[in-house]
Chain A
């Protein structure tokens, strides 16, 4: 499947606005982009599809001048773009909405937008003229924001609007959106897509980066597939087939494991009227009630920053509740520390693998035994650590869980993301926990690794574990969870059983609107 140019019927819009020619970028030994050539037509939405680490963001950062390509060139309307200059990219009409928004929270919307749009050394900032232009733009494109509010007070969806307005304010003709739907509720995603369609109708062009196939198929005209830094092919969206795209993206057939229905057992976790304090007001839990039973996966959906961390920390023993009671395996918890919780049979898969899951500078075996340090066989005499017992244990665990690493003594930080997650799973699951708390367990992993993680969780469920699965990926929740609760500003609401697979309903609750 090679490059299919747009077909005859849209030849009126065939005018080429952006052209990439043989872009190659290396980071050390890793070739992030390998000779990629692509073109974008006026009035077109081009999707760049690929797994995490396929090189999508790198490619966009080259277009926008954050990176300098080792080889190849970027042309806008036939003029080649000087490499490594965001200023030149903006001048040429390229606007980028980064995945991690590039906004300053302590400054106002207007300040964020007008920065750089006037000569840096002029004596006076033309604030009111900027405000007028911004108001006009937001009216014209139906992107409602208040120019003088602080960005820190905005929701994620509103911040994304600011990012788009930033590009429009700079008279962008080409809009690049990097994983724009990753943090949005389904409704916000719909709004974004409507905005994109209206922009394109007015003669703009857009590149949208994503790994979500369903969304890509809905919004784009053409789809460019990247795999391991190489362009695999470009297809017309209307001829594309979901399964075929998935296979092309991953490079082989991956089937995610299916759940089988099991009867829920005794309660392994019970939260009654639990509140926490000390985080921000939207992160603190407020009177949360939740129970999880054996053989059951309970999913927690929600936009990031609504109390997921507090909930996970609470059950992991990192944070104590300010009120309410917690029961683990039917026993009321009185001491809130990690050791008690782990001893009671909780397996933990933290959200941030690198920061909280492992100690990168220590060896694989040290990380693997870190939850069992005080028990034989790893302890000899009163307080001596038995390295050989640790290494033996690690060696067998590495084999059983298929962790790809040079050996037990290898430095942990050198492992790939997928293998790190395998290590964390192995540490947590090999103790046969009765309650597993998994926060974003598949974030940033490739398809194969995701299938592995899901398989392990389902296996644990089969063997009688209750699982609390916190995820921002609705597809993941819908495919794995027996029931789903939604967290919003620290309040947890369970979705009624009859609506448990209604994305619209879940989306409404994620943005704080009452269940119907």
Chain B
């Protein structure tokens, strides 16, 4: 037990937590935006996968890193548009469409990767984002090396939390998004196009998810592997519930999961002799489920989540 507390005081643990949390923040905020508008996006796992592939491929073909991020977001937005056209405009089941999009995007990622690089056996590498030390701030003891010696995409992820919060709670568009997730008829009755609002939220949310995927190939690693998203998308969906659909809480939820993940890797080395390592691997998931059960029992979920809105239907 004392060993575990010792891990918590190391720089490496906290720096790793921030690395692990970055893609989760993008994914969770993206999913949160979709769900706040009333659309569950189960395409997240696939959208993160194709974002990872698209961003990596852009750089491998000679593009630079930042345009790769934009390209990944663009591709994610396209899949968001696909999801929105089925669920928002046609009113098809959000579950079925979302799972379909995940299957499509995962398969398409592998297909395109193989098609463009038929010869390779080991995944080729690119030069990823390097650590950027924020001038002056990174010299602060402990906080500096943890918070201000990260790759730029981690800073972007952390910055996105207040941005999404501001969008949702301080702008007319954000109000329309929240209302579309609560009662779309009320939005329509105020003269606003519900379908447009929902579509915008899904497209923007999906773009964020794709950047989360691209973080893995452009920042955390330097290559694209099949199955590298490894359930992160599904975790983000759980984190949104854990966070009661609030951006600030989403950051805390994501940090908790990432911290547990960073901890279990280190705890394996400490306690691996006694306890099977699979236990440690499962630990973040188990604790997240437990936390979710405790936290989300009384949360007010968006009332119109999963409910399609059709104009001119008999109300």
Residues of A participating in the B interface, judged by any CB pair closer than 8 Å: 27, 61, 64, 66-68, 84-91, 96, 98, 100, 102-107, 111-112, 114-125, 166, 170
Contacts and interface: CB of A to CB of B under 8 A. Distances in A.
A106 B312 CA distance: 25
Interface in B168-199: 170-176, 178-179, 182-183, 185-192, 197
B303 interface: yes
Question: Which of A27, A68, A86, A124 has the most chain B CB atoms inside 10 A of its CB?
Answer: A86
**Interface majority SS on B: helix, strand, loop or mixed?**
helix
Nearest to B182: A104
A96 B303 contact: no
B187 A66 contact: no
Interface string B138-173: 000000000000000000000000000000001111
Contacts of A90: 190-191
Number of chain B interface residues as a range: 20 to 34
A124 B170 contact: yes
B300 interface: yes
Contacts of B302: 106
Given A106-B300, A120-B172, A66 B188 contact: yes
A244 B145 CA distance: 86
B292 to A, nearest CB: 20
Interface string B299-315: 01011000000011011
Given A111-B175, A116-B176, A61 B315 contact: yes
B229 to A, nearest CB: 32
Nearest to A89: B191
A68 B192 contact: no
Contact of B183 (A102, A114, A119, A124): A102
The 9 closest A-B pairs by CB, nearest first: A116-B190, A87-B191, A104-B182, A102-B186, A102-B189, A104-B183, A90-B191, A86-B191, A118-B172
Question: Which of A61, A116, A121 has the most chain B CB atoms inside 10 A of its CB?
Answer: A116
Contacts of B182: 104-107
Given A122-B172, A123-B171, A107 B179 contact: yes
Contacts of A106: 182, 300, 302-303
Given A107-B175, A112-B179, A122-B171, 18 more contacts: A86-B188, A87-B191, A88-B191, A90-B190, A91-B191, A98-B185, A102-B188, A103-B183, A104-B303, A106-B300, A106-B302, A106-B303, A111-B175, A111-B179, A114-B175, A115-B179, A124-B170, A125-B172
Nearest to B188: A86
B94 to A, nearest CB: 19
A66 B190 contact: no
